[in-house]
Amino acid sequence: MLGVVGVAAVVLLGAPIWGHGGSGRSPAPEVVVVQPGDTLAGIVTQAVPSTQRAQVEARLRRELGGTVLVPGERLVVP
């Protein structure tokens, strides 16, 4: 469990995961509280534009050490 808490802290306290081009400003990342039955792919699908989903999901997967989510866990999704 300590590993999950440590990873969550890295995800929550780390720099924004994804910068968007254009104006040079990144939109504020969204904090998603994991609900029972949520999947990483489902959260990314709802929160990230389709052109960026694969890259954001891969980055979150690396930061989390996999795709296992715990209900109540907070993820920062750009």
- Per the structure, the complete domain to which residue 71 belongs is given by 2-17+29-77
Say if residues 17 and 76 touch (Cβ distance below 8 Å).
yes
Which is higher by pLDDT, 51 or 19? Answer: 51
Give me the pLDDT at residue 78, please: 83
Structural domains of the chain, count: 1
pTM of the complete model: 0.65
Greater confidence (69 vs 24) lies with 69
Alpha carbon distance 50, 4 (integer Å): 27
22: in domain: no
Task: State CA 25 to chain mean position distance.
Answer: 19
Per-residue buried b or exposed e for 44-66, using 16+ beta carbons within 10 Å of the residue's own CB: beeebeeeeeeebbeebeeebee
Measured distance CA(23)–CA(3) in Å, rounded: 37
* Residue 23, domain member (yes or no): no
DSSP state of 18: -
Query: For 3-48, how does the pLDDT look when each residue is reduced to its tens digit (9 = 90+)?
Result: 554 444 445 444 444 444 445 556 788 999 999 999 999 999 999 9
- Alpha-helical (H) ranges within 1-78 are 2-13, 40-47, 53-64
